[in-house]
Chain A
Amino acid sequence: MKEYSGATPRDQQNRKRYTWLLALWALVYLASTYLITFELPDSSWRWIAAGAPSLFAIFAAAAYWRFLQNADELARAIELKALALAVAVGFVVWPASTLLAASGAPISGAMNPTVLLMVACYSYGVIKGRSDYR
């Protein structure tokens, strides 16, 4: 008899797909940052290097969308709650950090905590959701 270890095989496959694309996006992002900073500062190729990560981000977002569309309904509910939490935190933190930066607080673009906090809240939401429905 076949059994699902945790998530359904379809969810596992779709999750693997968007995780790989996210990893690829991170690699391309780092490579682009390096190229723009050290190799291509004055070349017109830097525009291509700057746009390349977005292409992978679009692929990753599409893969995540596909995962959500086809996900087991409890997995989807957990994901959506985690996303809602992340968006809510972003909605609070982004304007606050922008205003704090304008007021002279030492928050630069690279140090903006919004994205990190959103990712942390999303991760917390997923872990809490899985634990709540265990």
Chain B
Amino acid sequence: MKNRLKVLRAERDWTQAWLAVELDVSRQTVNAIETGKYDPSLPLAFKIAQLFGLQIEEIFEASAASKGE
């Protein structure tokens, strides 16, 4: 699953560490989500969307492989 987390975070000048604290996850989790290595759970995705003040689909986008399944 692709996401715009890194770009959105940079736009707001937020660090991974700050975001991790706000989301109550580890910095490794934020990094893994940003690099696309880990897809967050639905509750975490909602939490991220809420924090950024956006809809989930404005942050996360199903990759081609996921769409085809």
Contacts and interface: CB of A to CB of B under 8 A. Distances in A.
A1 B13 CA distance: 14
B25 interface: yes
| Chain A: interface size category | 10 to 19
Interface stretch (A24-32, A72-80, A99-107): A72-80
Interface stretch (A2-10, A46-54, A58-66, A108-116): A2-10
A126 B1 CA distance: 24
State the main secondary structure of chain B at its contact with A.
Answer: helix
Given A133-B37, A133-B38, A74 B29 contact: yes
Interface residues of B, number: 17
Interface in A73-97: 73-75, 77
A4 B21 contact: yes
A74 B32 contact: yes
A59 to B, nearest CB: 26
A74 B38 contact: yes
Contacts of B24: 8, 72
B18 A4 contact: no
Contacts of B26: 4, 6-8, 11, 72, 74-75
Contacts of A133: 28, 31-32, 37-38
